[in-house]
Amino acid sequence: MERSSNQGVLFALAVLLLVAVGVVTIGERWWWLPPLASVHGAWIDTLFNITLVVTGIVFVLVHVLLAYFVWRYRARSAEQRAYFYLENKPLELTYTLIPAVVLTGLIAAGTRAWFQIQGPAPAEALRVRVVGEQFAWRFQYPGPDGKLGRFDPRFISDENPFGIDPEDPAGRDDFVVTEMHLPLNQPVEVLITAKDVLHSFFIPAMRVKQDAVPGMTTRFWFVPTVAGTYDIPCAELCGQGHYIMRGVLVVESAQEFERWQQEQTPVGELLSSMSQ
């Protein structure tokens, strides 16, 4: 009995040590979410922090009570019998309704944030198509007409590696790049698809993540608020080269973005040069 008690104390000390390490590392930001760089990311971070605080308080209270009851009502002799009762309606209603109300509030807040992100983008939003393939990202931007040409994997060939419909005039002035650029503080709508297998388009600093599914288009919109360079990893296991599938996002001023756009070659010119 004494040995079992000592083991329990050692286990409790180990748990307390792990909790202390977790608190210290979170406070020092040794591991945590990357610095926020988008408008809607603030909603997600707020919801995340509220959820973490609520569940953390519940976790601590439940385990403190559990430890207290284990100690307070421990058996003191082999003949001692535990007391129990079959039901207690006030207690059952309490521990059913309180979690239900709290969880309903969290779900409602999460649903609101989801519809804000997945809702219609502002009319002035820049539209960019993201195409995932093993093992890289490609980005299609509209040309001066402001319209994206149609993309379909059926059109992918040696002459048209981007899969843009050659019969669609809106696609002739588009351009395709392997590095994503976005203007600072301007809304952007991202249309996401894939050529081959499932991928997942993920920009941690922007708090955006969406699957890229062959044969369909998924979407979201956001507003980048901090200039800089950000990683775009694939967050879906997509094959042996999954670990190298990493893109780059550059957020820059409107003037720098405009200059970058003017340096790109339209798809129409590339297709013409390939066919010659």
The verdict on 262 and 146 lying in the same domain is yes
**Does residue 261 lie within any of the structural domains?**
yes
The verdict on 101 and 172 lying in the same domain is no
The verdict on 38 and 60 lying in the same domain is yes
**Does residue 5 lie within any of the structural domains?**
no
State the pLDDT at residue 34. Answer: 86
pLDDT of 229 higher than 90: yes
State the pLDDT at residue 158. Answer: 67
pLDDT of 184 higher than 70: yes
**Does residue 64 lie within any of the structural domains?**
yes
**Does residue 14 lie within any of the structural domains?**
no
The verdict on 54 and 161 lying in the same domain is no
Q: Name the residue with higher pLDDT: 57 or 5.
A: 57
**Does residue 109 lie within any of the structural domains?**
yes
User: What is the pLDDT confidence band of residue 215, given thresholds at 50, 70 and 90?
Assistant: confident
Domain count across the chain: 2
User: What is the pLDDT confidence band of residue 255, given thresholds at 50, 70 and 90?
Assistant: very high
**Does residue 13 lie within any of the structural domains?**
no
Q: What is the CATH number of the domain that holds 184?
A: 2.60.40.420
Instruction: Taking residues 96-108, report their average pLDDT.
Output: 90
The mean of the pLDDT values for the chain is: 84
The verdict on 135 and 114 lying in the same domain is no
Domain that holds residue 52: 34-72+90-119
**Does residue 77 lie within any of the structural domains?**
no
The verdict on 219 and 104 lying in the same domain is no
Instruction: Taking residues 73-91, report their average pLDDT.
Output: 78
The verdict on 266 and 133 lying in the same domain is yes
State the pLDDT at residue 8. Answer: 67
- pTM beyond 0.85, yes or no: no
- For residues 216 and 49, what is the distance between their CA atoms, to the nearest angstrom? 33
The verdict on 171 and 115 lying in the same domain is no
Burial code (b: 16+ CB inside 10 Å, e: under 16) for 184-205 equals: beebbbbbbbbbebebbbbbbb
The verdict on 268 and 160 lying in the same domain is yes
Instruction: Taking residues 201-224, report their average pLDDT.
Output: 92
**Does residue 202 lie within any of the structural domains?**
yes
Q: What percent of the chain has pLDDT over 70?
A: 89
Instruction: Taking residues 53-80, report their average pLDDT.
Output: 84
The verdict on 176 and 101 lying in the same domain is no
Instruction: Taking residues 162-187, report their average pLDDT.
Output: 85
Which helix (H) or strand (E) element contains residue 200? Answer: strand 199-203
State the pLDDT at residue 222. Answer: 92
Q: How many CB atoms are located within 10 Å of the residue 221 CB?
A: 21
- For residues 27 and 205, what is the distance between their CA atoms, to the nearest angstrom? 19
Q: How many CB atoms are located within 10 Å of the residue 174 CB?
A: 23
Q: Name the residue with higher pLDDT: 170 or 41.
A: 41
- For residues 275 and 273, what is the distance between their CA atoms, to the nearest angstrom? 6
The verdict on 104 and 132 lying in the same domain is no
pLDDT of 28 higher than 70: no
The verdict on 143 and 256 lying in the same domain is yes
State the pLDDT at residue 25. Answer: 65
State the pLDDT at residue 4. Answer: 56
